Structure 1
Amino acid sequence: MPGSGSGRERGAGARGTEAGSTSVGAARGRPRKAGRAAALSALAKVCGDVRPGEPEEGVLGVVPAIVAAPATVAEAAEVMRTAAGKGLAVVPRGAETRLDWGTPPDRCDLLLDTSRLDAVVEHAAGDLVATVQAGLGTDRLAEVLAEQGQRLALDFPLPGSTVGGTIAAAAAGPLRLLYGSPRDLVIGLTVIRADGRVARSGGKVVKNVAGYDLGRLFSGSYGTLGLIVEATFRLHPVPVARAYVTRAVPDAAGAREAVQAVLHSPTAPSALEVAAQGGGVVIGVLLEGVEAGVTARTAQITALLGADAKVGEEPPEWWGAYPDGTTLIDVTSPPAALPGLLAAVEETGPGASLTWSADGRGHVGLSSETTPGQAKDALERLRSLLIGAPHRGGAVVRYAPETVRAELDLWGPVPALSLMRRVKEQFDPEYRLSPGRFVGGL
């Protein structure tokens, strides 16, 4: 199931202001005043940081009745157990970098803040494994691992994201070409289920829950299956040397030829990105390893891309970032579809931009000047190109201003919806966890 955001971005056009809205939807599903007081009192008995929600803490306009910030896994379990007893709808929150992804929740009785669950539980450097709590910032995790010459091989388009939010949103950057996404690097997960029970799978823990691989199941679940509280990751050494090779290409055909040349070469790039904006297209390749090997492979890539390719130790400005704009569309598009994808973005207008990774995932950004009708046309154009044979891709709207979002089918067709619904009903039969945040009202 695709992913649970743990926060909304600040200062990102319409996104930053919309989340704190006090529109009609802000009060939707909030418990009555007397019931809210009873729930607040019950939660205060099991958690040291509980308070009424504030308008600026709204999740896409839906203001939480209560905010709780447990400091331990045990405390978080008690909060979830109490919420179940009171029938409260729970929405997790981390660092608020992706809380505006998806659709507004039907209710937000309790906003569960994971920011105090920020410990490094264990770093077994000799085993290249680390267990950390969900509220730990990925920036801080990178600092801790770097002290031992190691890293979590995920690069993060949004600095400041938390571990839990990154897993829940299945977020990854250019390095996913070689290392994969969170579902590939999580080897163990601890979650709290809707009824407050703690469940563990993978890692150093033998027990699985109902046969599920929780790491894969919760990657991209948008907070709809349970509260992620701890994760165990497979780590990799920090490379001794790295080089970025970039080159502007003349057109979509040139971009595809360059991508295919690199992918079919023996150079084993860690990442390969294409960026397009304002009619210009540029390709970038990241090489990592020992110094002599990187030097030799850089020469090979330069020969493939052309003598005017640029080589540097630092990434280009656009590397790994979401494209500019107040509407973000996540696209699944194999290399064969790249020319059509670039053409579709260009047809959308001068304000549209694209970043695409050779692993087949990319993002299209639409500017604040894009009208709801233009956004709808752009989304239909992308889906017409990508969905079905031969590309078997898709396009999902991650965020958009409220006026644009109201006109769009954010998720598009989801053939596995009935299966996803059965999984949801097994983990959260009362539909209290981030209700309505995900596809099909899950």
Structure 2
Amino acid sequence: MTDSLLDALVDICGPGFARPARSVDRVGGQRAGHVAVPATGRAAGAALRLAAERGLSVRARGSGSKIDWGTPPAGLDLIIDTGRLNGMWDHHGATATVAAGTSLAAVRVALALQGKRLAVDPPSPGATVGGMLAVNEAGPLAHRYGSPADQTLSVMYAEADGAELETDGENGRPGIANIRGVITAAVLRLHPLPETRRWVGRSVTTPAGVAELVEQAVEQDLEPSAIEVDLPGAAEGTVAVLIEGDTGSVAGRAAKLGQVWGPEAAVVEHGPPWWGRYPFGAGDVAVRISVPPEGLQAVTYALRDACGVPVPLRGSAGLGTVHAVLPAGLPARRLAEIVDGVDQVLMARSGKIVVVSAPPALAVALPMATPRDLF
């Protein structure tokens, strides 16, 4: 059966673009059986149809930066790699159609030549359009422009049974969170590339201090593109605000916030080193907390109390969506208790906490995020 499966995948994807899996072809610790690299949406659909006919378990892979998010698969027969689903077209108006395997870095470079951009900045290094959309991965710019899903007009995808479909998520059609196949392309909204960017930052030591600085920034009506916080745990943290637009306007708005925040504030041309990066790595247990901004202070203290120590936390203080790293070395039961305790605090504040990433041995025993949790 193995040889016949490989032969069938080669027929679909072409010689050299289907192979037995290697040791690096894993999802949540599970090694795949085969890897297929289709060049078109039709080929992706054909590979999925073949897998469905043979009862195979399948996962899609872009750059692989978020491949281990969520619950590890019980088994893994086939990885569909979107690396050849690459390119961008119809990008001379207010939207662009981008193939799922295209890296966002490449899209940024191409659009900048036209004075445009996608107003998305997911933290994952090497993120692809499809990978970003699959988990609705948002970065700092979501404060002003919304999540990637908010900026997506329609998505082309191959369903689990191989059918090629397109959806805009309206009138009963499935949204991105409901897609169970492979995203092959998407139509995304474009925005003008800002003339100037400035970051205004100030150090902070407590969640209460974060809340005060954020409130002051919001009260100034500065139209910020992002309001981010970095609390490393025991060390001093930072609140930073990104202001974009024409040079004169940006200079005036940045100076205004600098005056409000006082002499400790700094206006700079580049974001801090932590800007647009997750506070966690591959071996960490990472949670995402989403709560109305006014509730973030209480939840941060609740997380600290539940863990018994300050924990690294980073994300959008303006939206109330942050990621935190739970203490290392704790058993799954204790980690689950921490998550449940913080969740009780969040429920009273219309918020939620989900575990997005964990080492495979812990992930199988933790309440990991589902795709719907990320939208």
Same fold (TM over 0.5): yes
The C-alpha deviation readout for 1:145-179, integer Å capped at 9, x for no partner, is 11111111011211201110000010010110100
Query: Which residue of structure 1 aligns with residue 101 of structure 2?
Result: 135
Alignment of 1:13-162 (within 5 A): 34=1, 36-48=2-14, 49-124=17-92, 127-162=93-128
Percent of aligned pairs with the same amino acid = 35
Q: What is the CA–CA distance in structure 1 between the aligned matches of 2:184 and 2:361, rounded to whole Å?
A: 34
Q: How many residues align?
A: 366
Q: What is the CA–CA distance in structure 1 between the aligned matches of 2:308 and 2:371, rounded to whole Å?
A: 29
Residue number among 257, 260, 268 corresponding to 2:215 in the alignment: 260
What SS does the corresponding residue of 1:189 show, helix, strand or coil? strand
Task: Describe the shift of the 1:85–1:174 C-alpha distance in structure 2 as closer, same or farther (beyond 3 A).
Answer: same
What SS does the corresponding residue of 1:45 show, helix, strand or coil? helix
Query: Which residue of structure 1 aligns with residue 315 of structure 2?
Result: 356
Query: Which residue of structure 1 aligns with residue 245 of structure 2?
Result: 289
Q: What is the CA–CA distance in structure 2 between the aligned matches of 1:343 and 1:349, rounded to whole Å?
A: 10
Q: What is the CA–CA distance in structure 2 between the aligned matches of 1:79 and 1:373, rounded to whole Å?
A: 39
Task: Describe the shift of the 1:278–1:46 C-alpha distance in structure 2 as closer, same or farther (beyond 3 A).
Answer: closer
How does the TM-score come out when normalised to structure 2?
Answer: 0.91
Query: Which residue of structure 2 aligns with residue 249 of structure 1?
Result: 204
The C-alpha deviation readout for 1:287-346, integer Å capped at 9, x for no partner, is 001111111111221122222101101001111211135111011122121222221343
Query: Which residue of structure 2 aligns with residue 305 of structure 1?
Result: 261
What SS does the corresponding residue of 2:202 show, helix, strand or coil? strand
Task: Describe the shift of the 1:378–1:303 C-alpha distance in structure 2 as closer, same or farther (beyond 3 A).
Answer: farther
Alignment of 1:298-337 (within 5 A): 298-325=254-281, 326-337=284-295
Shift of 1:350: 5.0
Shift of 1:72: 1.7
Q: Answer yes or no: is the 8 Å Cα contact 1:137–1:163 preserved in 2.
A: yes
Q: What is the CA–CA distance in structure 2 between the aligned matches of 1:338 and 1:165, rounded to whole Å?
A: 28
Letter paired with 1:386: L
How does the TM-score come out when normalised to structure 1?
Answer: 0.78
Q: Is structure 2 residue 206 aligned with structure 1 residue 238?
A: no
Query: Which residue of structure 2 aligns with residue 190 of structure 1?
Result: 156
* Aligned-residue RMSD, C-alpha: 2.2
Alignment of 1:165-176 (within 5 A): 165-176=131-142
Residue segments in structure 2 that go unaligned for 5+ positions in a row: none
Shift of 1:40: 2.3
What SS does the corresponding residue of 2:24 show, helix, strand or coil? helix
Query: Which residue of structure 2 aligns with residue 31 of structure 1?
Result: none
Q: Answer yes or no: is the 8 Å Cα contact 1:322–1:365 preserved in 2.
A: no
Q: What is the CA–CA distance in structure 1 between the aligned matches of 2:361 and 2:76, rounded to whole Å?
A: 21
What SS does the corresponding residue of 1:331 show, helix, strand or coil? strand
Letter paired with 1:269: P
What SS does the corresponding residue of 1:375 show, helix, strand or coil? helix
Which deviates more from structure 2 when the two are superposed, residues 65-74 or residues 80-89? 80-89
Q: Answer yes or no: is the 8 Å Cα contact 1:324–1:367 preserved in 2.
A: no
Residue number among 228, 232, 243 corresponding to 1:273 in the alignment: 228
Residue number among 338, 357, 372 corresponding to 1:399 in the alignment: 357
Residue number among 298, 304, 308 corresponding to 1:346 in the alignment: 304
Q: Answer yes or no: is the 8 Å Cα contact 1:258–1:304 preserved in 2.
A: no
Which deviates more from structure 2 when the two are superposed, residues 224-233 or residues 341-350? 341-350
Shift of 1:369: 4.2
